[in-house]
Amino acid sequence: MQSPAICFDRSFTEVFDEIINTLLTERAQTEAEYDAFVTFGERISDRQLTHSSCSHAGSPGSVMTTHQKQAQSHAAQRLSMIRSAYEETIMSLPFYSDEYDDTYFESICEEFGSEIATALTTPECFGPAALKALFDRIETAKSERQRHIKACTRERDSIETAADRVIPIDEELSALTSVNFDSQSFGALDAHHNRLSILADHCESAAQTRQKTIQQQREFYNISQADMDVTAYFYREYDITYPVLAMCSDLTTRITEFHRCIEHIITDVEW
């Protein structure tokens, strides 16, 4: 009998090892981002920044006063300090360019929103209110990273549970590819058939458990069915969005093919 078609060119053990490494990298990078936001917040929380006064441009057509010019000059200096702090913490992370590849304005707009981004790049718009909003958004960014770190941990636990259930099925089916079913007795074929049915049940149970975890992740992040869920995000660089479900599907296909082969032999042979 020929081996059933397999959609993975490596052992499931290797695939699971790669998935775990992906999650470890994701967690490590998220932890680094969290630490960077902590450092960024500390660097811009000195008295020179937090006690700044809001600068306002003169009315259209009016001559800017010396005080207004000085206020805008000070605001520009403060914004330069904030930019340097951001670039030297968040944007200097070793993986930043590969992951985001954006400009300073694009980055702060993504992290803090367009209004704060405008305030951080326009001296006339910068003042205590913008600074307070920035600190609030830094706290939000830190909280988001903490949530993602927890998601990485939950995902790894789910993957390890799936591996404990799926890898043995893959190994048992792989061993069956060397069995010459044509020379087996009816009793042996019947035993193989029954065992395959048990493996199919185990596979279905593993898939259902995995689907439940994916749904729980969606609920944790309050993600709609139309949006990319965190599980898909974890494996965004993979050819297959849901690798564990794909492995379960592959196992089911192989079990079905073995079942058909055995049933064909049982039907055709005169016992």
C-alpha 6 chain-centroid distance: 26
Is residue 156 assigned to a domain?
yes
Task: Assess if residue 3 is contained within a domain.
Answer: no
Quote the crossing angle between the two packed helices 12-43 and 66-89, to the nearest 10°.
Answer: 150
Q: Looking at the domain assignment, is residue 124 inside a domain?
A: yes
Amino acid at 179: V
In-domain check, residue 4: no
Does residue 6 sit within a domain?
A: no
The pLDDT value recorded for residue 52 is 44
Q: Is the pLDDT of residue 23 over 60?
A: yes
Q: What is the DSSP string of 16-57?
A: HHHHHHHHHHHHHHHHHHHHHHHHHHHHT-SHHHHT-----P
DSSP 64: P
> In the chain, how many domains are there?
1
Chain segment 209-266, per-residue pLDDT in tens: 999 999 888 887 777 666 778 888 999 999 998 999 999 999 999 999 999 999 999 9
Neighbours of 162 (CB within 10 A): 23
Structural domain boundaries, residue 157: 12-268
**Residues 101-160: pLDDT tens digits?**
999 999 999 999 999 999 999 999 999 999 999 999 999 999 999 999 999 999 999 999
Residue-level pLDDT at 70? 61
On whether residue 260 sits in a domain, the answer given is: yes
Span 155-180, average pLDDT: 96
Residue 17 inside a domain? The answer is yes
